[in-house]
Chain A
């Protein structure tokens, strides 16, 4: 069965960086896009970016351009999202989510989600 397992909660100081991981299993890792979506406390969902694990190509939301980097390690079926120059507004739960349908077309939705990783930014 498809599973996305994320790394544990993080506490960071303003100005620091954080790197969250998402390990996939139960399907061909390189065959499906993986996205990152975040949710600030009491707020809505916000799309951050996507990676094609097969080619390592990425696309980011304009809001996060220059501050987020998504990478992958095919040997461990893991994708990473690193966010730099953290502020208190980056305090949120970060989710990875799979896009069904397979590369390159994709199905433009998110069928499986990780359990979420809480990142707290506080001095």
Chain B
């Protein structure tokens, strides 16, 4: 059960936008509209930021947006803020295989 591929790190200055990619296969990301994204600060549990590719849970700022094209999903953070510095993980439903997470991306606010 291979993990989805994410860049190890991305960075941006406050106010800028950053995009994190999440590449899988037609058996996970490409096969289902059940991609979710999680933010994790050090020592904390993950927090749901995006679900069903592009939907935001209540309370998540609209600076966070998601999309998908083929086997690759993306998370964009617009208007980057200091508190956005964290690790981000994508996750996809994978049918009979259950769920698969991405390798994780560290977002640094310069």
Contact = CB atoms under 8 A, between A and B. Distances in A.
A111 B98 CA distance: 17
A114 B44 CA distance: 10
B93 to A, nearest CB: 4
Interface in A3-46: 35, 37, 44-46
Contacts of A107: 51-52
B16 to A, nearest CB: 25
Given A47-B99, A110-B48, A113-B47, 13 more contacts: A45-B38, A45-B46, A45-B89, A45-B91, A45-B101, A46-B101, A49-B98, A60-B98, A61-B1, A108-B52, A109-B51, A110-B91, A113-B46
Q: Nearest 8 pairs between A and B by C-beta?
A: A108-B34, A109-B36, A113-B45, A109-B51, A47-B99, A108-B93, A45-B101, A44-B104
A111 B52 CA distance: 12
Interface string A91-123: 000010100000000011111011110000000
A66 B64 CA distance: 39
Contact of A44 (B45, B52, B89): B89
Contacts of A37: 46, 101
Given A109-B91, A115-B45, A44 B103 contact: yes
A50 interface: yes
Given A45-B101, A61-B98, A62-B1, A110 B46 contact: yes
A47 B46 contact: no
A8 to B, nearest CB: 15
